[in-house]
Amino acid sequence: MLVSALLMSVGINSCLCVLLFILYSVLRKQPHNYEVFLPRRLVAGTSKRRRNKVARYIPSVRWIWKSFKPSEQQLMESSGLDGVVFMRMITFSLKVFLFAGIIGVFVLLPVNCFGDQLIQIDYADWSANSLDLFSVANLKIRSKWLWVHFGAIYLVTAFVCCLLYLEFRYIGLKRIEHFHSSKPQPQQFTILVRNVPSSDGSSVSDTVDKFFRENHSSTYMSHVVIHRTSKLRSIVDNAKKLYKKVKQKKPEHGQVRKPPMRFFSRKDTPEGHYEKVLQEMEHNIRLGQAEVSSPGKEVRAAFVSFESRYGAAMALHMPQSINPTYWLTEPAPEPHDVHWPFFSASFMQKWLAKIVIVFACLLLTVLFLVPVVLVQGLTNLSALEYFFPFLTLILSMKIVSQIITGYLPSLILQTSLKIVPPIMEFLSSIQGHICHSDIQKSACNKVIWFTIWNVFFATVFSGSAFYKLSVILDPKEILVKLAVAVPAQASFFIAYVVTTGWTDTLTELFRVVPFMVSYVKRSLEPTEEDNELEVPPMRYHRDTPRVLFFGLLGITYFFLAPLILPFILLYFVLAYIIYRNQFINVYEPKYDTGGMFWPMIHYTMIFSLVLMHAIAIGLFALKKMELATYLLVPLPVFTLLFNEFCRKRFMPIFTAYPAEVLTKRDKEDQIDPRMSEFYSKLVTAYQDPALLPLRFNSLSGSNSLTSPLLSSSEV
Amino acid sequence: MLVSALLMSVGINSCLCVLLFILYSVLRKQPHNYEVFLPRRLVAGTSKRRRNKVARYIPSVRWIWKSFKPSEQQLMESSGLDGVVFMRMITFSLKVFLFAGIIGVFVLLPVNCFGDQLIQIDYADWSANSLDLFSVANLKIRSKWLWVHFGAIYLVTAFVCCLLYLEFRYIGLKRIEHFHSSKPQPQQFTILVRNVPSSDGSSVSDTVDKFFRENHSSTYMSHVVIHRTSKLRSIVDNAKKLYKKVKQKKPEHGQVRKPPMRFFSRKDTPEGHYEKVLQEMEHNIRLGQAEVSSPGKEVRAAFVSFESRYGAAMALHMPQSINPTYWLTEPAPEPHDVHWPFFSASFMQKWLAKIVIVFACLLLTVLFLVPVVLVQGLTNLSALEYFFPFLTLILSMKIVSQIITGYLPSLILQTSLKIVPPIMEFLSSIQGHICHSDIQKSACNKVIWFTIWNVFFATVFSGSAFYKLSVILDPKEILVKLAVAVPAQASFFIAYVVTTGWTDTLTELFRVVPFMVSYVKRSLEPTEEDNELEVPPMRYHRDTPRVLFFGLLGITYFFLAPLILPFILLYFVLAYIIYRNQFINVYEPKYDTGGMFWPMIHYTMIFSLVLMHAIAIGLFALKKMELATYLLVPLPVFTLLFNEFCRKRFMPIFTAYPAEVLTKRDKEDQIDPRMSEFYSKLVTAYQDPALLPLRFNSLSGSNSLTSPLLSSSEV
């Protein structure tokens, strides 16, 4: 790749960025777009739909400055600890690449330029130089300048490790602080017990009650046994959908509904028929609920609540039974975070699901590229001309063909990558996690490794003869091969950061799919206001891997091609602005993992560092710097030891709260008069939603829960 | 090795065994040997010194039958759970080798004999056949008879795994049963806390008290902070030694001492001088105790006692502090099991000691054979003749030279192996374990791997070109090399079992060193009765590895050379008789690990099985049985999975008692009136012996603990 090509790409994409920024700043001020761009503020009531002002057609930059405004405390309040962790990941990357960028651009880049391994720099025409001139490839074998790179690697590793340590400690403390400042919450007082042993004659409920009354008598309070409700749940879900449909078409009591403009006439919606069906369903649900509540439908698991956090922790940490495969305890998730369907599965189903999914993920990760590469193959010019003969004329234009061959393949790859997070989320959801936040975490982990494998390694492998399996068996050979293959892809990844990184993050700002949906809706029923405005939940498992991947790229290429650093830095600046904005205005946390994303981020960073070291060792061996090669070996070892230390030092805070924190909170509660109210709520907090009484009565006007849902007089 | 040679060896060793049995049965009945052969019964008072009977010069076999008599319950009472576990290891081996022996001798041995890979069997002169004819080496390549071996391997693996599962479960339940039936013991109510954080201005004692009063207020009772007492301890030890010396030479009050016959006159023991020194020492000790008790000499560790077992377990299992490197909890050992010196070491000292010792052990294990082989080299005839010319005549006799070349090298190896357990015990003692039983366990583990490496692998390696390091890198090659090298050593190990196994165990019966010491003592002071009869403590870490090693040999050679099985079986019969006897009469448990030796035994058995599988895979590959080779691969995998299952299923019982067991015992205690007495003892149970008031007063006749130890009026 030549400097001119890079400059053109940077130019195009910078213009695109500015254009998109301007477009967004106008679009977001249109009232009918509020529900797409500002749903959170709309629901919270902090933003009103202003109409008919000229100002809303003039682009502004105030929203950019606004996104810098909220403090971390405010972010914590609005987006939870997960939001804080996500933003700290971006500021962490900013710090790292500011430091690495200064070293890279002002020290390593000049050193590389003045090497003379490749042809001399053409000072007359800068843009005609190859990008390789700026990379470490330009240094001669046994060049003394390589020691500068050696020092830079040590320096940056030390800097990143220090920062990682400080961040891990900070987030650990934030977790404790968050716990201290939080209201009493059901999950703090509750544990989940699984594998309750079966005892003849008594129900699971009795067994649980007897066991905890005997062994944890001082703190045990109540329990909720889980029931097999998968069939009932599908009936309830259908009924709810139907109810929503019927309700939308019926006016509220005492309110005269003006007939909306619609494409379908009223005859198409036989409301009477619907309501009869609803009535029938509701009857079925009552019957089903009664049937499910019988001991025969009990799952051998229960949520057990205690009088204090200390009591719950005690039961959580202590081995319970002589047979350690019974009475397995684990922390309870938040009540609305529970993933109920999973409890219904039998042990064998769970076990099989787990194995199948692990294989499915591996297969997807390894084989994903095959169809994508095939489709990409279609984008070369001759294939296009063969399938679409009428395009021949357009394709013969030089700029069009350049754009098609340059952009289309990476666009296809990027689009296909977009479908991966939902797939991974689905796979994680049937893998056996008992709560949504665990599913998110697991999906995030899967997507991280998927991205690293399918973008980083696949690019590196395909660019060299690396894929020969025989190479894998010789560990020393791998490093040298990596050192050859990874730098060769430097210019590809620089272009990748500029094209995909910048614009892809910006398109996130536009929420393209919701925007289109809202546009289509308005064109269908232009006057109807949307009654139920839904604030979309945060989806860290989709965004975290992408951000982390650019961090990995930056660290890996830090000394190989320092030219990448300013672009990575710019990417993180963009990401900072945009994500602080997808948090304040749009997304809302549905449940909090309590900062559990940080260990994942930490491990990915450590992986990036060790990958960089491995490539460095291979490169120094290639450049015949024996001493430097041996002196580099301790670096990954120390990095891994540091990782182990961090794991020992901080991970316990992320798995369970320590006794001193629990007792402090418990003591504060003792003097709180609101606790008795909390306890009465706690008893029913973990009720399966499928077993809750139905509340369709606003439609029929009847308040009684025992009477039929839709009384015949109303219909 | 020829059959004749084996028969001769078996004959000699059988005669030796019978002879030793007869000798022992006479020696043990001599009253002056009681303290060597029956110290335990002597102390317990169940055996009196009978004199002047003719019967005691007639050999008898009653003691052999007697050793079969005690039930497991009695063994548990007299030798603790460790004794039971040790004996179950031997009965387990008996069961395994009875089963394997029947298959080996009646199925595999005939199959091997009728193979025709080597020369035909010489039916006329059986004893002239090579032992190899009875091994699997006699089967041709692709022989269909190998499938019999294949089946036998699967069968024996399944049998051993079943037995291992049953034993693990049995011992786990015994552990629980033992806990249920035991009296309240201090270690059940106590935990050890380490890394107490330093807080300005307050002592460690105050910090511990405050922390547990705050966080475990409902069950916390008391604590004992550990002090740095290494210097004081050496003074106390010296004083005790001196006191013993002085006391032995001074008559009891009111008892006229008859002057003993002695080689040293009374002038040599200036008692007055000694007592002055003692007086001085005692003063120093008082000063030292006062000094050590000050906060400045506190170690950042404490024994913390709770009101219930449940309370102690709670504090043990819960993470305590926001900083997980502080307030580390672990189960407290029995009070007299505590290894006090170790607490005095600083963190850096401990850390360095640990690293140094790991390296020392590795070095000792790997390099042990070098000096032994050198010394063994001296035992060849020409070397002996060179160094001791006067022996030439004797050495020229054929039988003498045969014995010297045949027995001497293995005798030297065996004698050098005897010094290993004390070395390993010493290394373990400075490694950082806080109690003697942990030191024993750790030493046992070290000796097991030492034996496996230095006897098994060293023999196998030295017998082949196996030691080339390059082979190690190719895992497939290793198996084939093993399959060549291990069977080649079959006849050596058969001879090893017959010679070393049988007689070595028998010499244990004679307690050679204590016997010699007692003999020398009696010849010096023949009329003096030994005032303080010491019952020697059990030393499982010395005996367990030896027994396990023969188990390993038996399992490894099971299908390679089934001829070894009857000899191994006989070894275990001998071991059964002897160990049940050295338990009833001689040794006494000083502390109980609660059956913690079993997991070690379990893992060693699993290792033996996998080793056998590895050799079998190599052998079947050598014999070109492709199908059988591939069908064998799942076997080690399943064995390791089985091991993992056992670890998950049973290990938790060995690390901590579950809640249901603890609460049951606690409830029983609530109605026990003796508990208040127990609690008052518990408070001082974990007092450092160096800080206890001295009790030398019986010498001086004074009872006061505050008055000087030896009043001048007495001297």
Mean pLDDT of B281-306: 81
Return the structure tokens found at A202. Answer: 């008594």
Mutate to test the interface with B, among A169, A215, A317, A655 (most CBs of B within 10 A): A215
Q: Say what the pLDDT of residue B472 is.
A: 53
Q: Does A322 touch chain B (CB under 8 A)?
A: yes
Q: Does B532 touch chain A (CB under 8 A)?
A: no
Q: Residue B304's closest CA among B314, B294, B295? A: B314
SS3 of residue A104 by DSSP = helix
Q: Are A699 and A244 in contact (CB under 8 A)?
A: no
For B523-578, what is the HEC assignment?
Answer: HHCCCCCCCCCCCCECCHHHHHHHHHHHHHHHHHHCCCCCCHHHHHHHHHHHHHHH
Distance from CA of A658 to the nearest CA of B (A): 5
Residues of B with Cβ-Cβ distance to A318 under 8 angstroms: 313-314, 317, 658-659
Q: Say what the pLDDT of residue B584 is.
A: 67
Question: Phi then psi for B329, rounded to 5 degrees?
Answer: -110, 145
Question: Phi then psi for B530, rounded to 5 degrees?
Answer: -75, 115
Measure the CA–CA gap between B218 and B216, rounded to whole angstroms: 6
Measure the CA–CA gap between B137 and B414, rounded to whole angstroms: 29
Return the residue of A nearest to B664 by Cα.
A215
Q: Say what the pLDDT of residue B159 is.
A: 95
Closest Cβ opposite residue B658 in set A173, A217, A320? A320
Return the structure tokens found at A628. Answer: 């430097």
Tens of pLDDT, residues B163-212: 999 999 999 999 998 888 888 888 899 999 988 888 777 888 899 999 99
Residues of A with Cβ-Cβ distance to B218 under 8 angstroms: 218
Tens of pLDDT, residues A662-691: 888 888 888 888 888 888 888 888 888 777
Tens of pLDDT, residues A179-220: 888 888 888 999 999 888 887 778 888 899 999 998 888 889
| One-character DSSP codes across B209-274 | HHHHHHHSTTTEEEEEEEE--HHHHHHHHHHHHHHHHHHHTSPPTT-PPPPPP-SS-GGGS-HHHH
Which span out of A360-374, B556-570, B604-618 was modeled with the highest average pLDDT?
A: B604-618
Q: Are the Cβ atoms of B658 and A325 closer than 8 angstroms?
A: no
Return the structure tokens found at A568. Answer: 């990575």
Q: Does B660 touch chain A (CB under 8 A)?
A: yes
- B462-469 long-range Cβ contacts below 8 angstroms, 24+ apart: B463/B488, B463/B489, B463/B492, B464/B488
Sheet holding B298-306, edge to edge: B220-227, B298-306, B190-194, B328-331
b/e B111-148 (16+ beta carbons within 10 angstroms → b): bbeebeeeeebeeeeeeebbbbbbbbbbbeeebebbeb
Residue with tokens 């097991």: B448
Distance from CA of A666 to the nearest CA of B (A): 10
Measure the CA–CA gap between B100 and A710, rounded to whole angstroms: 76
pLDDT above 50 (res A271): yes
Amino acid identity for residue A475 in this structure: P
Return the structure tokens found at A102. Answer: 């200064």
Report DSSP state, residue B183. P
Q: Say what the pLDDT of residue A406 is.
A: 62
Question: Phi then psi for B299, rounded to 5 degrees?
Answer: -90, 150
Q: Does B214 touch chain A (CB under 8 A)?
A: yes
Interface of A with B in 289-318 (CB under 8 A): 313-315, 317-318
pLDDT band at A709 (very low <50, low <70, confident <90, very high): very low
Return the residue of B nearest to A175 by Cα.
B322
Return the residue of A nearest to B174 by Cα.
A322
Q: Who wins on pLDDT, A414 or A224?
A: A224
Cα–Cα distances (Å) from A194 to A211, A213, A331, in that order, read 13, 17, 11
Interface of B with A in 145-174 (CB under 8 A): 172-173
Measure the CA–CA gap between A93 and A90, rounded to whole angstroms: 5
Q: Are the Cβ atoms of A176 and B322 closer than 8 angstroms?
A: yes
Decide the pairing of beta strands B220-227 and A220-227. Answer: unpaired
Distance from CA of A314 to the nearest CA of B (A): 6
Q: Are A407 and A9 in contact (CB under 8 A)?
A: no
Residues of A with Cβ-Cβ distance to B651 under 8 angstroms: 324
Q: How many CB pairs under 8 A join A and B?
A: 91
Q: Which residues contact B570 (CB under 8 A, 6 or more apart)?
A: B502
b/e B11-41 (16+ beta carbons within 10 angstroms → b): eebeeebeebbeebbebbbeeebbbbbbbbb
Residues of A with Cβ-Cβ distance to B314 under 8 angstroms: 314, 317-318
Measure the CA–CA gap between B467 and A616, rounded to whole angstroms: 34
Report which secondary-structure segment, H or E, holds A331.
strand A328-331
Q: Which residues contact A519 (CB under 8 A, 6 or more apart)?
A: none
Return the structure tokens found at A53. Answer: 């002002």
Q: Does A47 touch chain B (CB under 8 A)?
A: no
Cα–Cα distances (Å) from A348 to A344, A432, B136, B503, in that order, read 12, 11, 43, 54
CA-CA-CA-CA torsion for A217, A218, A222, A228, nearest 10 degrees? -50
Q: Which residues contact A29 (CB under 8 A, 6 or more apart)?
A: A50, A55, A56, A57, A60
Measure the CA–CA gap between A253 and A480, rounded to whole angstroms: 76
Q: Say what the pLDDT of residue B254 is.
A: 44
Return the structure tokens found at A49. Answer: 């739909």
Q: Are the Cβ atoms of B319 and A659 closer than 8 angstroms?
A: yes
Q: Which residues contact B142 (CB under 8 A, 6 or more apart)?
A: B623, B624, B625
Which ranges in B398-468 belong to alpha helices (H)?
Answer: 398-418, 420-429, 436-451, 458-462
Q: Are the Cβ atoms of A322 and B658 closer than 8 angstroms?
A: yes
Tens of pLDDT, residues B375-403: 666 666 666 677 777 777 777 776 776 66
Q: Residue A495's closest CA among A104, A96, A2? A: A2
Question: Phi then psi for B537, rounded to 5 degrees?
Answer: -75, 155
Residues of B with Cβ-Cβ distance to A218 under 8 angstroms: 218
Tens of pLDDT, residues A116-143: 665 565 666 666 667 777 777 777 888 8
Residues of B with Cβ-Cβ distance to A477 under 8 angstroms: none
Closest Cβ opposite residue A652 in set B218, B319, B656? B319
Cα–Cα distances (Å) from B373 to B361, B494, B499, in that order, read 19, 21, 19
Predicted complex: ipTM over 0.95 = no
Closest Cβ opposite residue B318 in set A314, A323, A325? A314
Mean pLDDT of A352-381: 76
Mutate to test the interface with A, among B179, B207, B318 (most CBs of A within 10 A): B318
Q: Say what the pLDDT of residue B181 is.
A: 85
Report which secondary-structure segment, H or E, holds B190.
strand B190-194
Which ranges in B249-346 belong to alpha helices (H)?
Answer: 271-292, 309-317, 341-344
Closest Cβ opposite residue B652 in set A218, A319, A649? A319
SS3 of residue B301 by DSSP = strand
Q: Are the Cβ atoms of A318 and B317 closer than 8 angstroms?
A: yes
Residues of B with Cβ-Cβ distance to A320 under 8 angstroms: 658-660
Distance from CA of B180 to the nearest CA of A (A): 12
Q: Who wins on pLDDT, A616 or B2?
A: A616
Amino acid identity for residue B599 in this structure: P
Q: Who wins on pLDDT, A434 or B551?
A: B551
Which span out of A342-346, B29-33, B141-145, B256-260 was modeled with the highest average pLDDT?
A: B141-145
What are the beta bridge partners of residue B220? Answer: B306
Q: Are the Cβ atoms of B319 and A317 closer than 8 angstroms?
A: yes
Residues of B with Cβ-Cβ distance to A599 under 8 angstroms: none
Return the residue of B nearest to A177 by Cα.
B322
Residue B369's CB is within 10 A of a number of other CB atoms, namely 19
Q: Are A678 and A185 in contact (CB under 8 A)?
A: no
pLDDT band at B252 (very low <50, low <70, confident <90, very high): very low
Handedness of CA A321, A323, A326, A332 (dihedral sign): positive
Q: Residue A95's closest CA among A154, A148, A167? A: A167
Mean pLDDT of A411-437: 81
Measure the CA–CA gap between B288 and B235, rounded to whole angstroms: 9
Q: Cα A545 to chain center, whole Å?
A: 7
Of A348-362, B518-532, B543-557, B696-710, the least confident? B696-710
- A455-463 long-range Cβ contacts below 8 angstroms, 24+ apart: A455/A413, A455/A417, A455/A549, A456/A549, A456/A552, A456/A553, A456/A556, A458/A369, A459/A489, A459/A492, A459/A493, A460/A485, A460/A486, A460/A489, A461/A485, A463/A488, A463/A489, A463/A492
Interface of A with B in 56-75 (CB under 8 A): none
CA–CA–CA angle B364, B368, B372 (5° rounding): 155
Closest Cβ opposite residue B324 in set A314, A324, A653? A653
Q: Are A298 and A207 in contact (CB under 8 A)?
A: no
Q: Who wins on pLDDT, B267 or A168?
A: A168
Mutate to test the interface with A, among B323, B657, B666 (most CBs of A within 10 A): B323
Q: Does A216 touch chain B (CB under 8 A)?
A: yes
Q: Are the Cβ atoms of A649 and B317 closer than 8 angstroms?
A: no
Q: Are the Cβ atoms of B214 and A323 closer than 8 angstroms?
A: no
SS3 of residue A372 by DSSP = helix
Mutate to test the interface with A, among B177, B213, B216, B314 (most CBs of A within 10 A): B314
Q: Does B475 touch chain A (CB under 8 A)?
A: no
Q: Does A479 touch chain B (CB under 8 A)?
A: no
Measure the CA–CA gap between B461 and A469, rounded to whole angstroms: 33
Closest Cβ opposite residue A656 in set B319, B648, B658? B319
Counting Cα atoms < 13 Å in the Cβ hemisphere of A381 gives: 15
SS3 of residue A697 by DSSP = helix
How many distinct helices (H) and strands (E) make up chain B? 33, 4
Residues of B with Cβ-Cβ distance to A314 under 8 angstroms: 314, 317-318
Q: Which residues contact B502 (CB under 8 A, 6 or more apart)?
A: B13, B16, B17, B570, B571, B574
Q: Are the Cβ atoms of A324 and B214 closer than 8 angstroms?
A: no
Q: Please, what is the average pLDDT of chain B?
A: 78
End-to-end CA distance of chain A: 73
